[in-house]
Structure 1
Amino acid sequence: MSTVSVDLPPYAKVVFRYGRPVVLLTALLMSIPGEIHLAEVAGWESVSMFGLFTLNVAWGMPVCVSVYAACSAVIADVAKRLSLPNRKSAQVGAVAALALALTAQDVSHWIRADYMGTSWILVGAVSAIPPIVAFHMLHMAAAPESTASEVEVEDVADDEFEADDDSAKGPRRKGKPGRPGLTEEEVNAAIESLEEAGKDVTPETLGKALGRAPRTARRYLKVIKRAEIPAAETSQAGTFQLSI
């Protein structure tokens, strides 16, 4: 997989870097009044905290709804990318959190506009939001402490090149007929010839030198590069530690 560098125009860089957090913050701020109102409708009010000060606990509803939805979306994306054990729960939670945030806003504005009134069902549903959110966040927190993930990769160094002795000749891979593979010496010779000619060793140039497709040449380059890794780093039989 090749990496492409894209030079964005200045205005696009500003939008990409600062636009997203501004939009997110604005959306969260606009969600606060409706969610606080919904909490107040359900019966949350100001309470005395140990006689020291008074706290309006209804202000916690935006955290349980909008902020929870934002957190769930991020956790679901990270869990999917790293294949964490809780990725299914995180994805389901992200969808449920978005539905919860949308419903909370709609219901609050319907009540304010006198399209509907409160009921015991609505009060019960709103009252259940904080414990449900707390339970799901604790469940998603059961992810591994480290974000490192071990990935098993096929060790192709042994079967990518054609063996030198005649006794090992024959089909290298079942079900994949075609031209016989090249030996490691042939690939190294082609690389040396490119370097002597002052050419960059890329999948395209190596492919032309070997008479192979760039994709095949890229695979050979990966094998050569892996062969140069010290034995101490490759002693686990093709198991690599990928740290994100």
Structure 2
Amino acid sequence: MSGTVSVDLPWFARATRKIGAPLAFGAALAMSVPGEIHLAEVAGWSSGFATLMPVCVSVYAASAAVMADVARRFNLPGKVSAQVGAVLALILAILAQDISHLIQLDYMNTSAVLVAAVSAIPGLVVAHLLHMGRGPRETAIEVEAPDVPEVAEDQEDGQLSLIDMETGEARRRGKRGRKPAVAPEEVQAAADRLKAEKKKVTGTTLAEALGVAPRTGTRYLGQVSADAEAAS
């Protein structure tokens, strides 16, 4: 059975995450701006529109990376193509800098192929972002959650109780917890009833059938899915 552990990071690690990483991110975006604007000008855009190229390249690459990671973590539609697109976006951001500097230092000249490729960037960015923006109609989605112990707070003394999801036994320094967990057999029986009633088995419907919180129902849904995969 998996669980979570609280880790107290040292001050310099916290400072790196809160200050160092954002500063490096901002500096990298700022340094990429001149090269991408120059590349847009080489492709024929006027200076006004050329200033938008960094948004289409560097900002897009950063956004694509975040959206692809979210799609992978929560198993959203199109997660594979989102990850592939994020990698290509990163390659595009790197090549834009290289090509712009090579042209500025007279190591290479522009060409019809280069102009056509750069001109296609905005359209490709729009298409990929629209693709990654797809999602389920519901504002809250059902995802499989690991089968971890539930931590509940004892209202009397504020101490924590650890509820064992498999056995329903609660232990907190030798004391009983507030609420026993639902046995796996009862969870499976509730899922079977929902299927017999031709209702979709989700975390919400499972929670209503068992009389538990929606978050707990989502956890039980992961348990049902794992049992189904094991049986198959």
TM norm structure 2 = 0.65
Aligned partner of 1:5 in structure 2 is 6
1:235 matched to 2:209? The reply is yes
Q: RMSD of the alignment, in Å?
A: 3.4
**Match among 50, 53, 58 for residue 50 of structure 2:** 58
The whole-number CA distance in structure 2 between the counterparts of 1:60 and 1:145 is: 32
Aligned partner of 1:31 in structure 2 is 32
Letter in 2 for 1:107: I
Letter in 2 for 1:29: A
1:98 matched to 2:90? The reply is yes
1:12-91 to 2 correspondences below 5 Å: 12-46=13-47, 56-91=48-83
SS at match of 2:182: helix
Cα 1:104–1:200 change in 2 (3 A) is: farther
Deviations 1:101-160 (A, max 9, x none): 11111100100111100011111110010111111111222222546332478xxxxxxx
Percent identity of the aligned residues?
53
SS at match of 2:134: coil
Q: Is the 8 A contact 1:45 1:58 kept in 2?
A: yes
Aligned partner of 1:141 in structure 2 is 133
The whole-number CA distance in structure 1 between the counterparts of 2:5 and 2:144 is: 27
**Match among 115, 121, 144 for residue 123 of structure 1:** 115
Deviations 1:8-46 (A, max 9, x none): 222221112222111111111110000000000001014
Query: How many angstroms does 1:199 deviate by?
Result: 2.7
Q: Is the 8 A contact 1:151 1:241 kept in 2?
A: yes
Q: Which has the larger radius of gyration?
A: 1
Aligned pair count reads 175
Q: Is the 8 A contact 1:148 1:241 kept in 2?
A: no
Q: Is the 8 A contact 1:73 1:94 kept in 2?
A: yes
The whole-number CA distance in structure 2 between the counterparts of 1:147 and 1:79 is: 15
The whole-number CA distance in structure 2 between the counterparts of 1:121 and 1:200 is: 74
Letter in 2 for 1:20: A
SS at match of 1:44: coil
Aligned partner of 1:165 in structure 2 is none
The whole-number CA distance in structure 2 between the counterparts of 1:139 and 1:226 is: 40
Q: Is the 8 A contact 2:64 2:82 kept in 1?
A: yes
Query: How many angstroms does 1:3 deviate by?
Result: 1.9
Aligned partner of 1:199 in structure 2 is 174
Cα 1:14–1:44 change in 2 (3 A) is: same
Q: Is the 8 A contact 1:149 1:241 kept in 2?
A: no
Letter in 1 for 2:116: G
Cα 1:93–1:112 change in 2 (3 A) is: same
The whole-number CA distance in structure 2 between the counterparts of 1:226 and 1:122 is: 63
Cα 1:94–1:147 change in 2 (3 A) is: farther
SS at match of 1:149: coil
Letter in 2 for 1:21: P
TM norm structure 1 = 0.62
Unpaired segments of 5 or more residues in structure 2? 146-166, 191-205, 220-232
Aligned partner of 2:106 in structure 1 is 114
Runs ≥4 residues deviating over 4 A: none
Letter in 2 for 1:34: G
